Structure 1
Amino acid sequence: MVLMRMKLPFERRVKLAQGLWLLSWTATLAGALTFTLGCLLKTELQRRAEVMDNTEIHVVPNTLMVVSLASLGINYFAGRVCQEALDAGRFPRWKAFMKPYWGASLFFTLLMLIPVIISYAMKGNLESSLEIGLKNGIRFYKDTDTPGRCFQKQIIDRLQMEFKCCGNTDYKDWFQVQWVSNHYLDFSSKEVKDRVRSNVDGRFLFDGVPFSCCNPSSPRPCIQDRLNNNSAHYNYEHQTEELNIYARGCREALVTYYMGLMNSIGAGVLSVFLVQSSVLVSLRYLQTAMEAVAGQENTEIETEGYLLENGMKEIVMEYLNRLLAFVKLNQVGGEEVRAGAWPTPA
């Protein structure tokens, strides 16, 4: 049973071809936009590569760029076909390519949904990647003279100022690491000696944070040392001084930023998917309608276009029968091989 049949007289075929030409070039521009969005997301992920533990999330922009490049070729071909679709003498030269082209177009159009699904599914992966990356970044913050980590301090400071965050989970993460290099510690000081000796690993730990955690919206000069000691500062109560330093952790800030970016890109990709689907459906109707015109002198006859030659049930059963026949053929071939390998004794 033919699925979604539609009668298409000559005038409607002309309008369909004209509309498809315009729609195909719109989809071409949309494909270029998708490629730009993929490059944008790729760039943003590369910018924060130092605070990410793995690169699995890069599958989202990579897939977007591959699909968008494929859509450019798909829509260019669709524009060429619809230009010649009304010329019965020239259309048949495309006929041999239409089914493979339509199948490849359908594949890449459905593949366009994969990045949208992955972007939501990999939220947990993004969080764990940022958690480990930020933890290492904070730990190596002081290693400004170590090759490979020279810019770690600059990266973390810029990150905290740009996203208005502090630490991994919160500002207390800085209390658990020695973020001040030994080059800038006075080991002749009793306070420094006591703090180093009181730690099992011999690290200098204190309740302070880097300057990049300071909130410029605070009405008082930033307090970044002895944050938990109320008596060390005049008129200070650390539990109520919310504006002194950023309270939000950088992991939460980055996850919110990237998920917001991917949600916006996902909405744009879904719009492109709808345009691309419209191109495929229109091209399929034009193809099936023009197949009835091919080889006839009168091109102004009324024809029928359809989406699928058979219903979904018939298509599924056809492919299922082919699969069963293929499996059965392999089983018969395997039995013949075994029979030839182990001949029966005389």
Structure 2
Amino acid sequence: MGSEDRGCCDKCAKMFIMVINIIIILIGGAILAAGLYWQLNETGFYKEIFNHDIFNIPIVSIVVGALLLLVGICGFFGACCEVMFLLKVYMGFLILIMLVEIILAVGCVAMKSEVEEYATNKTYEFIGYYGDEAKDEADIIKKTVDAIQENFECCGVTGPDDWPNYNAAYKSETAPERTVPDSCCKDPDSAGCGSAKTISANENIYKIGCKVSMINFVENNLLYVGIVSGVIVILQMALLLESSAYTSLLTREEHYLRYAVQARY
């Protein structure tokens, strides 16, 4: 029994595994490239804030991207070249990834308050370092904080009052011409933005803190995260079943060919 004698379902299973793993390879490559960019980039997409021993976005992205690349390569070439060893390694990776996903899901729930507290304290620390050339020689902290405030349309951690409270350069008595950075402003080019006006009277600055803004962003996108997670789990189960069935088919073929050779001689 050769590959040309297989039914349509068996050929479709092989094609399904190959196509899905091409997608996995592309996704893994993209995540790996993003992780490397974050790690090498100055602001690293807020890596300075999330540079936690466990929750380190760039490193996690690099590891996940590399793992997905390895998994995709094993699955693609295992199915394409019909290599039993690669298919078994691929199935082992799928099971391992599913177990890791369960552990991460539980860990994220368990460590939510710890990570949130760490990020909050770290941001307060960076507000104090903002604009201090001795502690931020390359302006990495300044660029990171500015990027967060501009992208999430927020100011400070809990609100704009954090700036005069945590950074002496923005206290009215020491810096009468400035109370918040320009990145807090809705329109940075307008006259008087971040000036000596009291924060409550300044309508040109964001009044919402970045902590609330970022939490709202996550909560508003939880539905999409849930949908994507559900699709990924279903695909993983389908891949595991298809790979198991395809491996069983190759095993039967191998036994059949071995029996045919023995019968001939």
Residue equivalent to 1:25:
18
Q: Kindly indicate whether the alpha-carbon contact (under 8 Å) linking 2:155 and 2:209 is maintained by their aligned counterparts in 1.
A: yes
Task: Pick the aligned partner of 2:179 from 205, 208, 212.
Answer: 208
Alignment partners' CA distance in 2, 1:282 and 1:108: 17
Matched, 1:74 2:74: yes
Matched-pair identity in %:
17
Distance apart, 1:167 and its partner CA: 0.9
After TM superposition, the structure 1 stretch with the greater mean CA deviation from structure 2, 21-30 or 213-222, is 213-222
Alignment partners' CA distance in 2, 1:147 and 1:217: 25
Distance apart, 1:19 and its partner CA: 0.9
Q: Kindly indicate whether the alpha-carbon contact (under 8 Å) linking 1:20 and 1:79 is maintained by their aligned counterparts in 2.
A: no
Alignment partners' CA distance in 2, 1:116 and 1:263: 18
If asked which structure has higher relative contact order (CA below 8 Å, sep 6+), I would say 1
After TM superposition, the structure 1 stretch with the greater mean CA deviation from structure 2, 249-258 or 112-121, is 112-121
Alignment partners' CA distance in 2, 1:170 and 1:158: 16
Distance apart, 1:14 and its partner CA: 1.9
Alignment partners' CA distance in 2, 1:149 and 1:257: 31
Q: Kindly indicate whether the alpha-carbon contact (under 8 Å) linking 1:20 and 1:279 is maintained by their aligned counterparts in 2.
A: no
The correspondence of residues 254-269 of structure 1 with structure 2, limited to 5 A, is 254-257=214-217, 267-268=227-228
Distance apart, 1:48 and its partner CA: 0.9
Alignment partners' CA distance in 2, 1:245 and 1:11: 69
Q: CA-to-partner distance for each residue in 1:175-223, whole Å, 9 max, x for gaps?
A: 2134428xxx9xxxxxx9xx5xxxxxxxx48792223222229998546
Q: Cα distance 1:176–1:217, how it changes in 2: closer, same or farther (>3 A)?
A: closer
Equivalent pairs counted in the alignment come to 245
Q: Which runs of 5+ in 1 are unaligned?
A: 1-9, 85-93, 186-191, 196-203, 229-237, 298-346
Residue equivalent to 2:244:
284
Matched, 1:104 2:64: no
SS at match of 1:51: coil
Residue equivalent to 1:3:
none
Distance apart, 1:170 and its partner CA: 0.7
Residue equivalent to 2:235:
275
Alignment partners' CA distance in 2, 1:71 and 1:280: 12
Residue equivalent to 2:263:
none
Task: Supply the AA of the counterpart residue of 1:279.
Answer: L
After TM superposition, the structure 1 stretch with the greater mean CA deviation from structure 2, 103-112 or 130-139, is 103-112
Residue equivalent to 1:169:
158
Distance apart, 1:18 and its partner CA: 0.9
Q: Kindly indicate whether the alpha-carbon contact (under 8 Å) linking 2:149 and 2:184 is maintained by their aligned counterparts in 1.
A: yes
Task: Pick the aligned partner of 1:51 from 41, 49, 52.
Answer: 49
Q: Kindly indicate whether the alpha-carbon contact (under 8 Å) linking 1:161 and 1:212 is maintained by their aligned counterparts in 2.
A: yes
Distance apart, 1:268 and its partner CA: 4.2
Q: CA-to-partner distance for each residue in 1:150-187, whole Å, 9 max, x for gaps?
A: 51444433432232211111111112134428xxx9xx
Alignment partners' CA distance in 2, 1:290 and 1:79: 10
Task: Supply the AA of the counterpart residue of 1:48.
Answer: Y
Alignment partners' CA distance in 2, 1:286 and 1:209: 62
- The answer to which structure has the higher helix fraction is 2
Q: Cα distance 1:102–1:76, how it changes in 2: closer, same or farther (>3 A)?
A: closer
Q: Kindly indicate whether the alpha-carbon contact (under 8 Å) linking 1:171 and 1:249 is maintained by their aligned counterparts in 2.
A: yes
Q: Kindly indicate whether the alpha-carbon contact (under 8 Å) linking 1:112 and 1:273 is maintained by their aligned counterparts in 2.
A: no
Task: Pick the aligned partner of 1:143 from 126, 132, 139.
Answer: 132
Q: Kindly indicate whether the alpha-carbon contact (under 8 Å) linking 2:123 and 2:157 is maintained by their aligned counterparts in 1.
A: yes
Alignment partners' CA distance in 1, 2:203 and 2:197: 16
Task: Supply the AA of the counterpart residue of 2:67.
Answer: V
Q: Which runs of 5+ in 2 are unaligned?
A: 261-265
Residue equivalent to 1:319:
none
Task: Pick the aligned partner of 2:146 from 134, 157, 166.
Answer: 157
Q: Kindly indicate whether the alpha-carbon contact (under 8 Å) linking 2:179 and 2:195 is maintained by their aligned counterparts in 1.
A: yes
Alignment partners' CA distance in 2, 1:125 and 1:179: 28
Matched, 1:250 2:219: no
